[in-house]
Amino acid sequence: MKKALITLVVLVVSGVGIFFVIGLFNNNPPSPTITFNEKKLEVARGSYCWDGLFNSICADTITPPRLIEYHEIKPVTVLPESEIKIEFEKEPNANTLGVNRWLNDNEVVR
């Protein structure tokens, strides 16, 4: 009985340790869940910079209008002052997120 308990504890500690180590080496930012009127919207990851514990990465992509076209995402129109929820599994650090509105490939509203 004691052997089985020790084996179980070792397995649980090993599993938690492996999960933690994998998280340390993750190079990708979390993907948000975006909802409007209780409906989940499609998202595509654009350009980003991400600082991990052991490494950092900056990835550049095509412009958002082309990204939407490439992933065949249907744009959603919302009225001014509408509430759009952007949620992450883990809350981002303060002052690390920003929003830009792309009017076309060259015109951006910040």
Domain ranges for the chain:
2-102
Task: Summarize the confidence of residues 21-48 as an average pLDDT.
Answer: 83
Minimum mean pLDDT range among 37-51, 74-88, 94-108: 94-108
Contact 27, 49 (CB under 8 A): no
Reported as a pLDDT band with limits 50, 70 and 90, residue 21 is low
Cα separation, 24 vs 34, whole angstroms: 26
Question: Which pTM does this prediction carry?
Answer: 0.64
> What is the per-residue pLDDT across 74-96, written as a single tens digit (0 to 9) for each?
988 888 899 999 999 888 888 88
> How high is the pLDDT of residue 23?
63
Cα separation, 108 vs 63, whole angstroms: 11
List the one residue out of 61, 59, 1, 50 whose CA is nearest residue 26: 50
